[in-house]
Structure 1
């Protein structure tokens, strides 16, 4: 049902915010590249220099958001705080896997910490996201991702993205219990985050690219620690075929978009701390 390629988010049903509208003021840095000590954009959140270490080695496993310099900023186009906005930098290929349908792999070496691609699609309102999820059949693939950012004041900011009909290469990424990518919310022009995927490790040419649909926090083995699917979970969770040694046997499942449990459905559910 994929019908339109878009490298960036577009406004979908139930959402009033235009993801491409510039609403953030720009920094007044006159240097070629901004520094955290003086740049108003860098003071908002994480910076790219410490992103990889913090996101992979923190106790929570969560990545803090990033605010890139935008079109209103006075710094140069070569600023180190302009990464995701430059788009794809590596050659990627969509291919057909043995058990997981379509997948995405790299045709060249990707060093750890480098930006790989976005997970772009229609930005939906909560009710529309629920409606689309609830009309899916057990045989349908689900591409909707629910991103929840836990703010310092206790509030939760939610973003729902669906690349089913309009999206980019990110929609072909499969889940892995030992992923080689991790997702970070990156804001450039507005509060609607770009869902940016970075290399969690060095990735060799021809390797499949994957990330953890649960945001590295919720897809845990059962009480016995052996990845066994509990009896009450059978028929609800889809089997995982990632092949990792630590595979928990099923894909992450988030029931928040369902009034009642639906059989064999899966919602990507990533959480982040701001």
Structure 2
């Protein structure tokens, strides 16, 4: 992410330690949270996050952090409210096309399309990112970032602003679920309704 808000492709984000100086613009997400964030109680979606100051388009918000699990272990977790599948959307054409139409993101595909999956679970440990709600019309987006290693299966998940955001507006991103994708332990489809309130809300997260 450059200072003018331009999004780079994956190859440009492989800013590994020692390959560029601390002042490199690729390192914007490595310097921690700079925007004053507040956790607050929303009307229908529980706790949410907002900023006390205005946010410029392209700004780094925070990392989604938590316990790193292999997918098989994540599937055993009873509480799936804070699970974030990672490293699997490099080839999600629908996601990339949607992002390009909004913020001009450029994707770079990998030669391997079958990678073992990992999941971040923020239920027991995490940061402010665990309180950011879903929206069908979000003002943030999640970006894979590699900086302390080059394993594409386990990227850091960084959240950036899609647009200019005024103070006290709730921060949201698209959880990227697919209806019919989430099943319970018996293989039955789970249903979670969406209450984001967006004009284009589809009514369900999954």
What TM-score, normalized by structure 2, do the two folds share? 0.76
Identify the structure with bigger relative contact order (alpha carbons < 8 Å, sequence gap 6+).
2
Residues 47-92 of structure 1, C-alpha deviations (whole Å, 9 max, x = no match): x24996669xxxxxxx74753534323x432111211110101000
Residues 13-71 of structure 1, C-alpha deviations (whole Å, 9 max, x = no match): xxxxxxxxxxxxxxxxxxxxxxxxxxxxxxxxxxx24996669xxxxxxx747535343
1:201-240 → structure 2 map (5 Å cutoff): 201-214=163-176, 218=178, 236-240=190-194
Aligned counterpart in structure 1 of residue 139 of structure 2, from 171, 180, 198: 180
Q: Secondary structure at the match of 2:25?
A: coil
Q: Secondary structure at the match of 1:245?
A: coil
- Structure 2 equivalent of residue 247 of structure 1: 201
Q: Secondary structure at the match of 1:249?
A: coil
Q: Please give the root-mean-square deviation of Cα atoms over the aligned residues, in Å.
A: 2.6
- Structure 1 equivalent of residue 119 of structure 2: 160
- Structure 2 equivalent of residue 126 of structure 1: 71
Q: Unpaired runs of 5+ in structure 1?
A: 1-47, 56-62, 220-234, 254-274
- Structure 2 equivalent of residue 93 of structure 1: 38
Residues 171-207 of structure 1, C-alpha deviations (whole Å, 9 max, x = no match): 0010000000001100111122110010000001001
Q: Unpaired runs of 5+ in structure 2?
A: 92-108, 180-188
Residues 126-176 of structure 1, C-alpha deviations (whole Å, 9 max, x = no match): 2210110xx34xxxx610011213343251433310011010100001000
- In the aligned structure 1, how far is the partner of 2:3 from the partner of 2:34? 21
Larger Rg belongs to: 1
* TM-aligned CA distance change 1:50 to 1:91, over 3 Å: closer
What TM-score, normalized by structure 1, do the two folds share? 0.58
* TM-aligned CA distance change 1:97 to 1:188, over 3 Å: same
